[in-house]
Amino acid sequence: MIKAITKTTITIFLLLLFLAACRSKKNIGSGADFKIDTLVVAIVPMDTIKYVTEQTPVYVPPVMTSLDYYNNAYNEIEQMLRGYKSLDFKRSVFVTENAFYNEGLDYKEFCIKINLLTERINHWKLFAKLNNYKANDSNIVKTNYAIYSLMCDTLLYSINGLRIPSYPYRYDFDDFFGQKEWSQMFVTKLMDTKTGNCHSMPYLYKILANEFNVQAYLSLAPNHLYIKHKCRGFGWYNTELTSGEFPTDAWIKTSGYITLDAIRSGIFMDTLGQVECVALCAYDLAQGYLAKTNNFSDGFAIKCLNLALRHHPTNVNAMILKAEILRKQFDNAVKLNQIDRAFTLKKEMEKYYQLVLKSGYREMPKQMYLAWLKSVSEQRDKYTNSQIYNFK
C-alpha cells in the first residue's frame, strides 16, 4: 500500500515537472522579442516579408524649347565667325532655317538638293558657249552665267536620251517680306516650290557660286538683296534674280532711297565678303526667333544682332532691328517703373537710331519697293547692262 502511494506520488511529481518545463518553453517562444546579451532582436512573421526587385532608371530626355534650338544655331554661327570653324555660308543658312523648324530638317537632304543643282549647272556648261567674251576669266564668267540660267531661264537637259525641262525660279509676290510667315524667306522653301524673293534667291545663288568657288557678292539695297560680279572683260555688273535682268547701278539708285551718304557709309551697294555673309545669317537668326516667339525681352535677339554687328558693322538692318527691340524693352521698363533700367535702355536705343540716321538710311515703303522692282523689266533699254547680252 505504501509502495503504491509512493509510486503514485513520484508519478504525479514527475508529471508536474514536465508540465512546468513545457510552460517555460512556451513562454520563451511566444514573446514578441528576446534578449541576447544587450541586443533586442525583433522576430518578424514570415508572411510580412516583401521581395523588392531593383528597376533600371529610364532616361527621359529634356524637352527642347525654341530658345534651345536657336541657341544651337547661334553657337555654330558664332564658332565660324570667331574662327573655331571654317566659314560656311551654306551651313549657316541651313542651321538658321533649321532652328525655325525645331531642327526638323535634314542637312544631308539639303546638300543633295544643292548637289543636284550643281550637276545641272555642269551639264549646262558642257554644251553652252559664251559669245564675244575673250578675257582669260571666261570660265568664271561662264559658271556665273550658268547659275543665272539655271535660276532664270527654261533649260532642257538630256538624260539617257530623254529631254527633261528645268523651269526658272519665280518671284513670289505673296508675303515677300515674310511678315505673315517667316519661312517665306527660306532657301529650303525656294528649292521645294521654285518660288522665292529677294532674300532666298540671292542666297541660293551665293551658295551655288561657293560650290564652284567663283566670286559672286551679295549686296544690300533698301529692303533688298542682289548679286554683284566683277569680270576682266568689262568690270563690275549686277544680277537681279527677281526679274532675271542685269541692271546697272543707275537702276539701283533710281529707287530714290539710296542717298550718297548711304553709299559712302557702305550700308548699300557694297560687296559682302564671306564673313559678312555668315554675319548676315546671325541677323536672320534674330528675325526668325522674333517671328517664331515674339520674345523681345529674353536677350537672345539682341545677342544675335550684337554678333552680326561685330562682324558686319555696316549692317543697317541689324542696327534698326536692335534699336526697335531696345525701344520695346524701354517701353516695358517704363510700365514697370524700372527707372534706372529705362534710362540705360533709352541711351542705348538713341545711340543706334543716331547711327542709322548718320549712315544715310531712308525707309522705303512697300508699294514703292514693288514699283522699283518692276521698273527694271519695264525699262530694260534704260536700266540693263547691254554688255551682258552681247555674250548671252
Q: How far is CA 97 from CA 195, 260, 269, 334, in A?
A: 16, 34, 26, 35
Strand partners, 235: 231
Q: Does the pLDDT at position 6 exceed 80?
A: no
Please give the backbone phi and psi of residue 170, each rounded to the nearest 5 degrees, phi first.
-115, 150
User: Would 82 be classed as within a structural domain?
Assistant: yes
So what's the pLDDT on residue 136? 92
CB 128 within 8 Å of CB 149: yes
Q: Does the pLDDT at position 385 exceed 90?
A: no
Provide the CB-side half-sphere exposure for 387 (13 A, CA).
13
The mean pLDDT value for 320-348 works out to 96
The mean pLDDT value for 228-251 works out to 93
So what's the pLDDT on residue 33? 45
Q: What is the pLDDT of residues 39-69, one digit of tens each?
A: 444 555 555 545 555 567 776 667 899 999 9
User: Would 147 be classed as within a structural domain?
Assistant: yes
The mean pLDDT value for 129-154 works out to 91
User: Would 6 be classed as within a structural domain?
Assistant: no
CA dihedral 130, 113, 165, 126 (to 10 degrees): 30
pTM: 0.83
Q: How confident is the model at residue 160 (pLDDT cuts 50, 70, 90)?
A: confident
Q: Does the pLDDT at position 157 exceed 50?
A: yes
Residue 36 makes CB contacts below 8 A (sequence gap 6+) with none
Comparing CA positions, the residue from 180, 182, 178, 177 lying closest to residue 66 is 182
User: Would 340 be classed as within a structural domain?
Assistant: no
Q: How far is CA 191 from CA 45, 231, 349, in A?
A: 75, 28, 38
Q: Which three cell numbers stand for residue 27?
A: 513562454
CA angle 384, 216, 301 (to 5 degrees): 110
So what's the pLDDT on residue 30? 45
**Alpha-carbon span 261 to 358, nearest angstrom:** 8
Identify which has the larger pLDDT, 210 or 386.
210
User: Would 3 be classed as within a structural domain?
Assistant: no
CB 202 within 8 Å of CB 227: yes
So what's the pLDDT on residue 200? 97
Based on the structure, what is the number of domains in the chain? 1
**Alpha-carbon span 284 to 70, nearest angstrom:** 11
So what's the pLDDT on residue 255? 80
**Residue holding cell 517555460?**
24
**Alpha-carbon span 46 to 44, nearest angstrom:** 6
So what's the pLDDT on residue 166? 84
So what's the pLDDT on residue 18? 52
State the residue range of the domain holding 195: 66-314+359-390
Residue 317 makes CB contacts below 8 A (sequence gap 6+) with 220, 283
User: Would 211 be classed as within a structural domain?
Assistant: yes
User: Would 17 be classed as within a structural domain?
Assistant: no
User: Would 170 be classed as within a structural domain?
Assistant: yes
Q: Does the pLDDT at position 20 exceed 60?
A: no
Which SS3 state, helix, strand or coil, does residue 24 take?
Answer: helix
Q: How far is CA 392 from CA 129, 142, 153, 317, 384, in A?
A: 9, 10, 12, 35, 13
CB atoms within 10 A of CB 8: 10
CB 242 within 8 Å of CB 373: yes
**Alpha-carbon span 335 to 69, nearest angstrom:** 31
Q: What is the pLDDT of residues 177-221, one digit of tens each?
A: 888 999 999 999 999 999 999 999 999 999 999 999 999 999 999
| Helix ranges restricted to H, 107-156 | 107-127, 138-152
Q: Does the pLDDT at position 391 exceed 60?
A: yes
